[in-house]
Amino acid sequence: MLDKLYECENKYEELEHLLTEPEVLADSERYTKAATELASLRETVETFRAYKAAKAEIEDAENVLADPSCDSDMRSLAEEQILEAKAEAEKLTAKLRELLKSNDPSSNRDVVMEIRAGTGGEEAALFAAVLFRMYTKYAEGRGWQVSVADANETEIGGFKEIVFTVEGKGVYGRMKYESGVHRVQRVPQTEAGGRIHTSAATVAVFPESDDDGFELDMNEVEVDTYRSGGAGGQHINKTESAIRLTHKPTGIVVTCQDQRSQIKNKERAFKVLKARLKDLYETEKKTSESLDRRNQVGSGDRSQRIRTYNYTQNRITDHRIGYTAYYLDEFVNGKMDDLIDRLSAAEGAERLAGGSAGDGSDDWEQ
């Protein structure tokens, strides 16, 4: 982990120098990107430098104690300095652990999300609509923007599937824990007998592709236009504004018809396609990694049942961390932060367990 901190510091210094280069100063897009990255590293680097200063104080004081000519007054001052500097180093070590834990380069990326109704028929589609509303409410509370790319709505207001983007600061860092199977237990609107049914919906969360690290071969993409369906008035019926993209090597199909502008639909469809392809390729690379890695809280395994929503008991249960609470009514209205905070903490604990003793000592330096 100490290597990661030095990497952060070196990158920070490189960016500081880069921002003084005339060609960067003349390129507003490049300058903004570098300045943003610099700002994201600042707290980690400043904390690391304070940590190194505290360690240097300890070393200086220990050298004083090792000097045979050290008198009692100097020895007393040196011992006091060691105690204070060790306490400061311990505090800074804890902070660095947290900063590294949250310093995932993809945390601030926007996301593409897909919700699909699973087992349960119409009730599953209605539950998919509940999940979409829940995420929309949560996004609104954090100042994020939600935009629907495509939706297959049922006659009574459910979704067989819905694809949407969420844009804002720290989106992927919070939403990545939502990938998986969500199960609901409640009396369906379609059930006259009042019996509790169990149904499910699947959520997929894809971080938007970083254009610097992912190339899409346009020769492999087939682009089709067609007339949008569903509500929307005469405009939608008269123009071929909807876009369908087919990635020929993988067979992935992406459609977007939410916007009246064909250009906007095309732009959003490519954004979804890139995110799905990058996720596919990264998942393939991870298949050779250890089982422990794949079982991490934030792994995004969409075949895993992650959560149960029990309406009769007003209970929310996250099966990954054994979390149970009785405020489901608030949770589905966007009050998700407590659970997401706990999931983040659990993921951080897993990472630290794999890279340190986790006892507050300096073993993480090794």
**Average pLDDT per run of 10 along the chain, which is 366 residues long?**
84 93 90 87 92 95 91 92 94 83 70 92 94 97 92 92 91 92 88 81 86 72 76 44 88 81 83 83 61 45 83 96 96 96 80 46 46
**Whole-angstrom Cα distance, residue 108 to residue 142?**
13
In terms of C-beta density within 10 A (0-12 exposed, 13-18 middle, 19 or more buried), how is residue 125 classed?
Answer: buried
* Residue 112 structure tokens: 């593409």
Q: Determine the pLDDT at residue 102.
A: 62
| The total number of residues written for the chain in this structure | 366
- One-letter amino acid for residue 329 of the chain: D
pTM: 0.65
Q: Please name the residues in contact with 247: beta carbons below 8 A apart, sequence gap of 6 or more.
A: 220, 221, 253, 254, 273, 277
At position 239, the amino acid (one-letter code) is: T
Q: If one looks up domain 218-286 in CATH, what number appears?
A: 3.30.160.20
Q: What is d(CA 93, CA 362) in angstroms, rounded to the nearest whole number?
A: 8
CB 48 within 8 A of CB 5: yes
Computed from CA positions of residues 325, 327, 330, 331, in that sequence, does the dihedral angle turn out positive or negative? Answer: positive
Dihedral of CA atoms 272, 278, 283, 285 in degrees, nearest 10, equals: 170
Give the count of alpha carbons within 13 A of 24, CB side only.
14
Q: Could you tell me which residues come within 8 angstroms of residue 148 by beta carbon, excluding any fewer than 6 positions away? A: 162, 163, 164, 258
Which residues, at least 6 apart from 301, have a Cβ–Cβ distance to it below 8 Å? 179, 180, 294, 295
Q: Are 128 and 201 in contact (CB under 8 A)?
A: yes
* pLDDT of res. 271: 84
Predicted pLDDT at 188:
82
| pLDDT (0 to 100) of residue 178 | 96
Cα–Cα distance list, 310 to 118, 127, 169, 198, 314 (Å): 17, 12, 31, 9, 6
CATH T-level fold of 111-213+297-350? Alpha-Beta Plaits (3.30.70)
For residue 310, the cross-strand partners are: 185, 315
Q: Report the C-alpha gap between 66 and 5 in whole angstroms.
A: 30
In the block, tokens 């071969």 appear at: 217
Q: Identify the bridge partners of residue 224 per DSSP, sorted by sequence position.
A: 244
112, 272 Cβ separation under 8 angstroms: yes
pLDDT, residue 189, reads: 73
The full 3-state SS of the chain, as one line of letters, equals CHHHHHHHHHHHHHHHHHCCCHHHHCCHHHHHHHHHHHHHHHHHHHHHHHHHHHHHHHHHHHHHHHCCCCCHHHHHHHHHHHHHHHHHHHHHHHHHHHHHHCCCCCCCCCEEEEEEECCCCHHHHHHHHHHHHHHHHHHHHCCCEEEEEEEEECCCCCEEEEEEEEECCCHHHHHHHHCEEEEEEECCCCCCCCCCEEEEEEEEEEECCCCCCCCCCHHHEEEEEECCCCCCCHHHHHCCCEEEEEECCCCEEEEECCCCCHHHHHHHHHHHHHHHHHHHHHHHHHCCCCHHHHCCCCCCCCCCEEEEEECCCCEEEECCCCEEECCHHHHCCCCCHHHHHHHHHHHHHHHHHHHCCCCCCCHHHC
